[in-house]
């Protein structure tokens, strides 16, 4: 890519000199500098120049080294709502002793659905909506990984489960496996080997969360 950029610059420089030459044909001093510039451009080889630059950089600064104090961290914009992997990793940073591969956020919301009011017996748990203000307030709370939620109805945590699933950058069945999944559902018969083979293609956190 760098080589292409240098070659492009060289070509444009030649075009510039040709145009400028036509505009100032009577200037002898310019014509001399024009010939010198053309000669220099003809002698210039971008491949050799880049090789010399690399050798000089290694000679002066030494080979590139990994920083001594290298630490891995998630980007600030990644939250428990970004992906299943991020959710689990962020929760483990807060609680290093937590070893579950299933997001605690999801388990908290499912528990809230079951234990609030009439729980799973409530009408239209995943169909009836709640106010946008309640949704934003609960989502903000969960993004701070404050899971001490006390909803008044099971509809709020149910809506948040849908919100979380919809927002994942890669769904429970990853995009790369979605086509294969649809194709397999059209088979007249599945044998156990085929089923296990497909299941173990699903990333661990996705697979365990689905279960």
* Pairwise CA distance, residues 112 & 158, whole Å: 8
Q: Token pair for residue 88?
A: 């689990």
* Pairwise CA distance, residues 144 & 76, whole Å: 12
Residue with tokens 């010939």: 35
Give the contacts of 88 (CB within 8 A, at least 6 positions apart): 100, 101, 102, 103, 205
Contact 174, 206 (CB under 8 A): yes
Q: Please state, rounded to an integer, the average pLDDT across all residues of the chain.
A: 77
Residue with tokens 């993004």: 143
Span 20-43, mean pLDDT? 54
Kindly write down the DSSP assignment for every residue of 31-51, as one continuous string.
Answer: HHHHHHHHHHHHH--HHHHHH
* Pairwise CA distance, residues 186 & 87, whole Å: 33
Residue 106 has pLDDT above 60, yes or no: yes
> Any idea which of 56-70, 89-103, 104-118, 153-167 has the lowest mean pLDDT?
56-70
Give the pLDDT confidence score for residue 55 in this predicted structure.
74
Distances (CA, A) of 52 to 39, 73, 169, 186: 20, 36, 43, 60
> Per residue in 48-81, pLDDT tens?
666 777 777 767 777 666 555 544 455 566 788 8
> Per residue in 125-178, pLDDT tens?
888 888 999 999 999 999 988 999 988 889 999 999 999 999 898 888 888 888
């Amino acid at each position: 890519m760098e080589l292409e950029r240098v070659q492009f610059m060289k070509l444009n420089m030649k075009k510039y000199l040709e145009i400028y030459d036509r505009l100032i044909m009577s200037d002898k001093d310019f014509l001399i500098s024009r010939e010198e510039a053309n000669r220099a451009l003809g002698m210039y080889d971008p491949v050799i120049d880049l090789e010399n630059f690399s050798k000089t950089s290694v000679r002066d600064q030494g080979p590139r080294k990994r920083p001594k104090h290298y630490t891995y961290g998630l980007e600030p914009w990644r939250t428990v709502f970004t992906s299943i992997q991020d959710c689990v990793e962020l929760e483990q940073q807060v609680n290093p002793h937590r070893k579950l591969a299933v997001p605690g956020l999801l388990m908290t919301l499912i528990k809230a659905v079951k234990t609030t009011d009439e729980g799973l017996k409530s009408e239209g748990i995943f169909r009836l909506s709640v106010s946008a203000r309640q949704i934003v307030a609960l989502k903000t709370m969960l993004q701070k990984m404050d899971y001490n939620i006390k909803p008044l109805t099971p509809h709020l945590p149910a809506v948040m489960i849908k919100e979380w699933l919809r927002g994942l950058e890669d769904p429970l069945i990853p995009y790369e496996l979605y086509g294969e999944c649809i194709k397999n559902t059209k088979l007249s018969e599945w044998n156990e080997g085929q089923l296990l083979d497909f299941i173990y293609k699903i990333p661990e956190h996705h697979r365990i969360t689905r279960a």
